[in-house]
Amino acid sequence: MKNVMSNKYVIALYTLPALLLILTLIYIPIVLSGYYGFMDWDGIGQMTFIGMDNYITLVQDKMFWTSTWHSFLLAIFSTASLLLYLAISLVLASKIKGSDLLRKIYLIPMLLSSVAIAQLWMKIFDPTNGMANKLLEMFGVENTPIWLADPDIALYAIFIPVIWQYAGFYILIYYAALKNVPDEIIEAAKIDGASSLQIAYKIKLPLISGVFKVTIMLAVVGSLKYFDLIYVMTGGGPNGASEVMASYMYKEAFKLNNFGYGSAIGFGLLVIALFMTWLISKLTKSKDDVQF
Amino acid sequence: MKKKAFSSVISLALAGGLILAGCSSSTGSSSDTKSSGDKTVVKMMHLWPEGSSNAQFTIVDDIIKAYEKENPDVDIQTEILGNEQYKEKIKVLSASNELPDVGITWAAGYMKPFVDGKMFAPLDDIAKEDNFVAGTLDAFSVDEKPYAVPLELNITPVYYNKEIFKKYNLEAPKTYDEFLNVVETLAKNKVTPITLGNKDRWTGSMWYMYLADRIGGPEALNSAINRSGSFEDPALVKAAEEIDKLVKMGAFVKGYNGLSNDEAKGYFMNEQAAMYLMATWELPNYTTTPDVSQEFKDKVGYFKFPTYEGGKGDIDSYVGGPGVGLFVSEQSKVKAEAKEFVSYLVEEWGKRSVVDAGVIPATVVDTSDGELHPMYIDILNDLGDATNLTLYADVQMSAGVADVHLNQIQALFGGQTTPEKFAKTQEDALAAEK
């Protein structure tokens, strides 16, 4: 057996299926979309090579940078909300009554499909009959907001369900990580007279910092390529007020028949996401990662 | 041990995320796979699945069966997809030169890339101008040659709730001043005068188009789009000012820019709004659809968009357009058979679509047989008297310019632009294209 596994051809043979899968489903499409970015193509007729034109337009396209800014806003908000998730998991993991049930409740939004969530929140945000405004009216607010129709609010209104949607996912990760902190250490701390707040700050958080870094990465990259709720709830409107990079790409490619330019946007999105991944891993790198 | 448990939870969570992200809509396709033998096979794709568009599905199915009976050597094979999947698939198929022999297309701006790419065969030999309602064939023509034959035709009346009107002693308005009075009275009494789903943008565009038509006549907008005129025409700016005025009067439902057309429709169906401007594809809801209560159906009436004092447009001019049409693929190996089938299908469709599916065909309809709901007969008669049919602006324009137009419409309704800027931005976009 050992002989077989050390044979280079066998190794190549065994990794081949996975390699092929990744190549054909991920890397080749990425290269292709970069390539289509050099073309003037409506997705139907002939492609014509136009060199860097699409990429030059992209850099000068105000709408692209607006949508990039919106994507970054989402990234900032979802990263900030990680702290909230972390706080919830700290409470959940500290053996309070009913934490099992609560954990399951928090997980439910994750089990719903994005489109169902979007439909649900569109009903909540309905300006006349929606739950949000009915509640505000109950508290005596007169000029209730029009939520998704107001260009100043629309984007932030969508952030609420997005953050709500992913709560369960991150809480689950943090919860699992916190449960993984050895009891002996915490017991030792207790014996030394540490309060539960001190235990949380000085022991639990440093011990799960590795997981925290991973979730920052997931939140930022996930936000940058975010698409579903935006697309269903406002379609990027009104007037591009809630357009993010991915929805802008979809709109250019499929709605406006600019496959070439759409591909260029997609490639831009990839570059930005890669850069952010690199930046975050650089920023969060520390030598003294705690091992246990 | 604990570490292992942790990593398995993590990987489960990640896998769960992947699965959720990977959820994609399933395509409901079904195809007739009869043995073809030595028969000539004509492949057809359409967008009326048996489940969601049963009436249309049945008509097409019956027509195919009848055709196959009359022409035993032809075998029509169908592939059926839902609307959105159809739109996507047809693009993919055309990119790989695998279009079906016969298929469905939308008019003007949508089909132009296909025609430019030589994907559709010219149908000037089977499409006879006088079989169709005036203007419908033009919408499927490029350089005066038809590349598809229209199946449907829609015009847009203003539907209104008779009971709400009666309650406030209002009557269906004939002039724009009367219309403004209706809006004012309703708004004063805290009733939403007009429901509008302007998230979809083409809905607001119809209001603008009507005002442009009534003020400047049909030429004003048409010539701005075909570049014989300008979008900064005073009539077109004036129409934008009127929209602005309506918005300030509180004519439209709260949050219209965030509502989709379907959501906005709900306000009308629930009697929370008095008026709704929409194409005649809504007619079944007010006449035949069994899910809608008879009580509500009896309350719905319609009026033609009122005339504007001193304006050039008359009341019998409509905004509207053909819905879908049939094309024959240029690459088809059985072009002659396909064309013959298309002309047969269009003719039979015209005989049955109103009665069986509530779809107004683009072919001239005989209303004398008395089976129709009176509202249909009225609409069909109005259609007979129509002096002009202006095709939806976003359909007339190319995709890029249409997007500018629609965004400007949303900005105009949202008060984020001025009528002058509204006109100028569109003029610039139209001018830049040529």
**Which residues have CB under 8 Å from A94's CB, separation 6+?**
A196
B375 domain-assigned: no
Question: Are B350 and B408 in the same domain?
Answer: no
Q: 3-state DSSP helix/strand/coil percent for chain A, to nearest 5? A: 75, 0, 25
Which residue range forms the structural domain that includes residue B290? 155-320+391-433
Q: Select from B13, B94, B257 the Cβ nearest to the Cβ of A238.
A: B257
Residues B294 and B351 in one domain: no
pLDDT (tens, 9 = 90+) of chain A, 292 residues, equals 567 777 888 888 989 999 999 999 999 999 988 899 998 887 777 788 998 889 999 999 999 999 999 999 999 999 999 999 999 998 888 878 888 888 888 888 888 899 999 999 999 999 888 899 999 999 988 888 888 988 899 999 999 999 999 999 999 999 999 988 888 988 999 899 888 888 888 888 888 888 999 999 999 999 999 999 999 998 887 888 999 999 999 988 888 888 899 999 999 999 999 999 999 988 888 765 555 5
Q: List the helix and strand counts (H, then E) for chain A.
A: 16, 2
Q: B289 and B148: one domain?
A: no
Single-letter code of the amino acid located at A57: T
Q: What are the structure tokens assigned to B69, written together?
A: 């009976």
Question: Among B337, B366, B262, which residue's Cα sits nearest to residue B71?
Answer: B337
Write the CATH number for B218.
3.40.190.10
Q: Would you call B254 and A173 a contact, using CB atoms and an 8 Å cutoff?
A: no
Tell me, yes or no, whether B191 lies in a domain: yes
pLDDT digits (tens, 9 = 90+) for B261-299: 888 999 999 999 999 999 888 888 888 778 888 999 999
Contact residues, chain B, for A113 at CB < 8 Å: 20, 23
Residue B372 located in a structural domain: no
What is the tally of structural domains in chain B?
A: 2
Tokens at residue A42, please?
Answer: 């409506």
Dihedral of CA A154/A155/A160/A161: which sign?
A: positive
Both B306 and B328 in a single domain? no
Regarding whether B353 and B424 lie in a shared domain, the answer is no
**Residue B54 is encoded by which pair of tokens?**
């049963």
Q: Is residue B209 part of a domain?
A: yes
**Subunit contact B5:A257, Cβ cutoff 8 A:** no
Q: Which of A44, A125, A176 has the CB atom closest to B10's CB atom?
A: A176
Task: Kindly list the structural domains of chain A, giving each domain's residue range(s) and its CATH number in brackets, ordered by start.
Answer: 62-283 (1.10.3720.10)
Q: Does residue B108 share a domain with residue B210? A: no
Flag if A149 and B263 touch (Cβ within 8 Å).
Answer: no
* pTM as predicted: 0.79
Are B78 and B194 within one domain?
no
Query: Does residue B371 sit within a domain?
Result: no
Assigned domain for B384 exists: no
CB-CB under 8 Å, B258 with A238? yes
Residue B347, domain member (yes or no): yes
Residues of chain B contacting A254 with CB distance shorter than 8 Å: 88
